[in-house]
Amino acid sequence: MAAKKRNKMDFFNQKIARTGIETNTSIRSYIEGSRRASNIFWALAVSLGGFGFLLSGLSSFLNINLLVFSDSSSISFIPQGIVLVFYGTVGSILGIFLWLTIWWDIGFGYNEYNKASQEVIVYRKGFPGKNRELSLKFPFTEIKSIKMRIKEGLNPKRQLFLCLSDRREIPLTGIDKTVALNKIESEAITLAKYLNIYLETE
């Protein structure tokens, strides 16, 4: 009974292992876009600041206080009021732009490494229009290596690149967010092993 039960368990484990190998034919890593807490904070700060400056300038022009926390109606419109309106307009436009990039989630995407189709897919989201969605496909035969570029200092940069046989370098990570060194090293080693290619450092 024990031997029969053990044989059934071995068969079950082998079946699970084979299923895992068959379904584990691709790796997909996601890239964070503009929809981040830090971007939301700056969009809110710039919008409130620009709107406040704009209301202050209009208050000095209309001689009516439009602000709750301060009285700007006594400020002379020339030149202080004009300057406030200018900075307020610029700040408001910049705030609207930041909110739109957050809404569109600019920069979001993924990298997919598929052994079944023998290709790497790099997908990114851009601004609305003809190139709203960018999808690039690279066959495994064109891939030479994975390059890890690390630059320490006041403005550290840690990036991964997909190096092609024609010397092109396709960025695989974002450039506006610093990734932990151990994390990017682990990802680089995993990709190099999965694709069976060299790992370069710079």
- Asked if 130 and 140 touch (Cβ cutoff 8 Å), the reply is no
At CB < 8 A and 24+ separation, what contacts does 165-174 make?
Answer: 166/142, 170/122, 170/136, 170/138, 172/29, 172/111, 172/122, 172/146, 173/31, 174/31, 174/32, 174/107
Question: In the chain, what are the domain boundaries?
Answer: 38-104, 107-201
At residue 176, the pLDDT reads 67
Which class for 94: exposed (0-12), middle (13-18), buried (19 or more C-beta within 10 A)? middle
At residue 12, the pLDDT reads 35
Distance CA 33, CA 107 (A): 4
Q: In what order do the strands lie in the sheet with 109-114?
A: 26-31, 109-114, 119-125, 133-139
pLDDT by residue for the chain (202 residues), tens digit each?
444 444 433 433 333 333 333 336 888 889 888 999 999 999 999 999 999 999 988 888 888 888 877 777 778 888 888 999 999 999 999 999 999 999 999 999 999 999 989 999 999 999 998 889 999 999 999 999 999 988 887 777 888 999 999 999 999 987 666 777 888 888 899 999 999 999 988 7
- For strand 143-151 and strand 198-201, is the pairing parallel, antiparallel, or unpaired? parallel
At residue 24, the pLDDT reads 63
Q: What is the pLDDT of residues 62-116, one digit of tens each?
A: 888 888 777 777 788 888 889 999 999 999 999 999 999 999 999 999 999 999 8
3-state class (DSSP) for residue 106? coil
The pTM for the full model equals 0.73
Phi and psi (nearest 5°) for 188? -65, -45
The CATH number of domain 107-201, selected from 3.20.20, 3.40.50, 2.30.29, 2.120.10: 2.30.29
Q: What is the mean pLDDT of the chain?
A: 83
At residue 11, the pLDDT reads 37
